[in-house]
Amino acid sequence: MLLTLLAVSLYPVLRTIWLAFRNTSLETQGDRFTGMSNVHRLQHDAVFWKAWRQTLEFTAVTTLAETLLGLVIALTLYKTFRGRGLIRAAVLVPWAIPTVVTSRMFGWLFDGQNGVVNYLLVHLHLVDHKVNFLGSTTLALPTLMLADVWKTTPFMALLLLAGLQTIPTSLIEAARIDGASTWQFFWQVRLPLLMPALLVAALLRALDAFRVFDLPYVLTGGGPASSTETMSTVAYKTLFSGLELGYGSTIATAMFVTEALIAGVFGLFILRRLRAEG
């Protein structure tokens, strides 16, 4: 088991790091050690740094939005009411839909010509002419973010719902008898108790959002003008369109390092937080 794991995951990662320092390419047939020249190239690669910033932006915005929205949904679905099972199932639907399909769906909803979103915006007089969401360098990335929030919030809500259910009901009753208002109860009892589950869920979400590939690949192909390029799409293009296995691996390694940093910083934060609370 451990051996399989090492073979399937650890070996490829080490091998990628090894490739990162070579000029391996299927086009030029080169394959030798080139020291720091790939790293040097990376430092001056404008598209890479643009993708780097956009990926971090995407990760931060979607994780925050999904955590907040997931919390609202989890708190709502935690209550008992008639038809709760049905509504819980309905909320899970976006999560079950393949990301590729989500991409196509949002492509159609936000289509610049016949998209229903444009129709509604124009009719509610929110805009005076149709907006080309996915063709705009400023709006394409936010549209991708929205698609991601739609698709992934259910899972976040599910994890938070799980966290909520671990809070003993005796605490809820005690607070109610003490006359705590709903808000007080939320801020002083529920949220602190939910914090560990919330932070772990947010960490998982952030690490996943950081790898975003399907949405930009299908919806925009990284365009217009690289405005939706993410680290995964840049690495993929370099590897499979440019056939530069060496430099592509350099990008993948940079991504790996950034992700490890996010995990490390986030992890430390969670640990300190948990320690502080005892």
Partner 1 sequence: MVALSVPARRRSASSGRRLVRRGGFVVLLALIVVWSLFPFVWQLISSFEPDRDLSRSTPKWLPVPDGTLQHYRNVFVAKHFGKFIVNSVIVDLSATAIALVFAGLAAYAIARLPLPGKGIVMSLVLAVSMFPQISIVTPLYQVLNQLHLLDTYRGLSGVYIGLALPLMVYVLWGHFRAIPIEIDEAAKIDGAGTLRTLWSVIIPVSLPGVVPAALLGFIASWNELLLALSFTTSPAHQTIPVGIANFTALYSIPWGDMAAASVVVTVPLVVLVLIFQKRIVEGVTAGSVKG
Contacts (CB under 8 A) with partner 1, residues 145-184 = 150, 154, 158-159, 161-163, 165-166, 176-177, 179
Q: Which of 100, 191, 261, 274 binds partner 1 (CB under 8 A)?
A: 100
Give Dmax (Cα) for the chain. Answer: 75
Nearest approach, Cβ of residue 218 and partner 1 (Å): 5
Q: Determine the residue type at 120.
A: L
Complex with partner 1: residue 166 or 188, whichever CB lies closer? 166
The answer to whether the bond into 216 is cis (omega within 30° of 0) is no
Q: Which of 106, 131, 148, 175 is in the footprint of partner 1 by CB under 8 A?
A: 106
Residue 238 DSSP symbol: I
Q: How far is the CB of 89 from partner 1 (least distance, A)?
A: 4
227/232 with CB nearer partner 1: 232
- Helices 140-165, 46-78: inter-axial angle, 10-degree rounding: 40
CA–CA separation, 79 and 82 (whole Å): 10
Of 40-48, 57-65, 72-80, 135-143, the segment contacting partner 1 by CB under 8 A is 72-80
Helix (H, G, I), strand (E, B) or coil at 35: coil
Of 145 and 252, nearer to partner 1 (C-beta) is: 252
Per-position DSSP letters for 115-147, written without gaps between them: -HHHHHHHHTTS-SS---GGG-TTTHHHHHHHH
Q: How far apart are CA 24 and CA 243, in angstroms?
A: 9
Residue 33 β-bridge partners: 22
Instruction: Please choose, out of 15-23, 31-39, 41-49, 59-67, the segment that lies near partner 1 by the rule CB under 8 A.
Output: 15-23
Query: What mask, x for binding partner 1 by CB under 8 A, covers residues 233 to 262?
Result: --xx--xx----x--xx--xx-xx--x---
> Segment near partner 1 (CB under 8 A), from 41-49, 92-100, 135-143, 268-276?
92-100
Beta carbons of 223 and 4 less than 8 angstroms apart: no
Q: Does 112 bind partner 1 (CB under 8 A)?
A: no
* Residues between 173 and 232 with contacts to partner 1, criterion CB under 8 A: 176-177, 179, 197, 207, 210-211, 213-214, 217-218, 231-232
- Which one of the spans 29-37, 41-49, 60-68, 99-107 is the region binding partner 1 (CB under 8 A)? 99-107
Taking CB under 8 A as the criterion, which residues in 113-142 touch partner 1?
Answer: 113-114, 116, 119
Closest distance to partner 1 from the beta carbon of 49 (Å): 17
Binders of partner 1 in range 25-64 (CB under 8 A): none
In terms of Cβ atoms closer than 10 Å to its own Cβ (0-12, 13-18, 19+), residue 7 is exposed
CA angle 214, 230, 68 (to 5 degrees): 75
- Six token digits for residue 25: 């390419």
Other Cβ atoms closer than 10 A to 177: 8
**Site of tokens 């990628």:** 16
Task: Output the smallest distance, CB 19 to partner 1, in A.
Answer: 6
